[in-house]
Amino acid sequence: MKIVVDDKIPYILPALHALADDVVVKAGAAISPSDVRDATILVVRTRTRCDRALLDGSSVQLVVTATIGFDHLDTAYLDAAGIEWHNCPGCNATSVAQYVASSLLVLQRERGLDLSGSTLGIVGVGHVGTAVVTAARRLGVGRLLLNDPPREAAGDRLPGAMPWTPLAQLLADADIISLHTPLTTAAPYPTRHLIDADAFRLMRRRPVLINAGRGGLVDEEALLAAMATGAVGDVVLDTWEGEPHIRRDLLNKVYIGTPHIAGYSADGKANATRMALTAICHYLGRPMTFDITPPSLPEGTVTATAPDDVALQLYDPRRDSSLLKASPETFEQQRGSYPLRRERV
């Protein structure tokens, strides 16, 4: 049996070699039809577009993406072709929440953002958005507004949360807006360019905008116009349209800009690998357990005792932002060689 796997999925190879006699490791963007023609299982991240062009005529029976998002999978084609597929929902939710929380701490210290007096609007309250709710409460954010039309339509509500807030009201009332929806163009809840020129016109409080979801959620032309007119305040972007070839004019204007690494803690990666392996073993009917533990931080990495200082020593997004602004052309390399980051000591 042959398994083809993205070379940037950590901690996975020993387990795959125990499951298959032929394991091919390649850069995600370089995986080609010839690589998968005689493969049974394909394990990817977001850089591999899994569609008819890649898989038609192949022997692939299972596609697993070691990510929460799956807009790089043509699920309609996979379903029609009888190819089973799995993503890893929630795998890096606390990692993204760590990114958002650390960004807010930076804005509090450097830009005078009053978290206790602010209203945070969270758009998309799935695994990640729920983790951001928890992080925001830990930071003492004054008020939360939650928007998630699919969950609202299903009658869902977070324990103890206020009622769902319509998007227009959230945009008007929030001091901080954080985006955590999937990227989709499908009715009834399309999210591509959810934040567009019309959305920026609804923003009354010149909010901080954070996008650690998907690049296409924000119309970047409209964002640049909103920044120029002052309709929006500080901007934190981890995801971009056109990745890895991002707009340098926008990168130069955002307060924090990072190379799609919000979910890249070692803990989140380990979770994704474990979930991917579980899906593979379930498909093969070979239940196995995996001891996947990220490496410990070097001694002395965290010396602070105050909670906010500890949080920023564990992860300070300014480092990643400085590196990207200094070398935007190495966006993909910065993702691929991301240093060890833990969510806890």
List the catalytic residue out of 45, 47, 260, 274.
260
Residues 12 and 67 both lie in one domain: yes
Residues 104 and 35 both lie in one domain: no
Residue 290: its pLDDT value, please?
83
- CATH number for the domain spanning 203: value is 3.40.50.720
Q: Does 152 map to a domain?
A: yes
Residues 242 and 153 both lie in one domain: yes
Residue 345: its pLDDT value, please?
79
Question: Is residue 110 among the annotated active site residues?
Answer: no
The overall average pLDDT reported for the chain is 96
Residues 215 and 276 both lie in one domain: no
Rounded Cα–Cα distance for residues 112 and 125 (Å): 27
List the catalytic residue out of 45, 72, 214, 342.
214
Residues 98 and 137 both lie in one domain: yes
At position 171, the amino acid (one-letter code) is L
Contact 56/31 with Cβ under 8 angstroms?
no
Residues 205 and 123 both lie in one domain: yes
Instruction: Reply yes or no on whether the pLDDT at 289 is more than 90.
Output: no
Rounded Cα–Cα distance for residues 155 and 300 (Å): 47
Residues 180 and 219 both lie in one domain: yes
Residues 58 and 145 both lie in one domain: no
Question: Is residue 214 among the annotated active site residues?
Answer: yes
What pTM does this model have?
Answer: 0.92
Rg over alpha carbons for the chain, rounded to the nearest Å, is 20
Residue 162: its pLDDT value, please?
76
Q: Does 302 map to a domain?
A: no
What CA–CA distances, in Å, run from 143 to 22, 50, 243, 264, 324? 53, 41, 33, 28, 32
Question: Is residue 260 among the annotated active site residues?
Answer: yes
List the domain range (segments joined by +) for residue 47.
Answer: 2-87+266-284
Residues 116 and 169 both lie in one domain: yes
Residue with tokens 């190879």: 13
Residues 105 and 224 both lie in one domain: yes
Q: Does 329 map to a domain?
A: no
Query: What is the bridge-based pairing of β-strands 41-44 and 256-257?
Result: unpaired
List the catalytic residue out of 84, 152, 221, 243.
243
Give the tens place of pLDDT for each residue, 54-106.
999 999 999 999 999 899 999 999 999 999 999 999 999 999 999 999 999 99
Contact 140/105 with Cβ under 8 angstroms?
no
**Number of structural domains, the chain?**
2
Q: Does 311 map to a domain?
A: no
Q: Does 104 map to a domain?
A: yes
Rounded Cα–Cα distance for residues 210 and 128 (Å): 13
Residues 77 and 183 both lie in one domain: no
Residues 124 and 234 both lie in one domain: yes
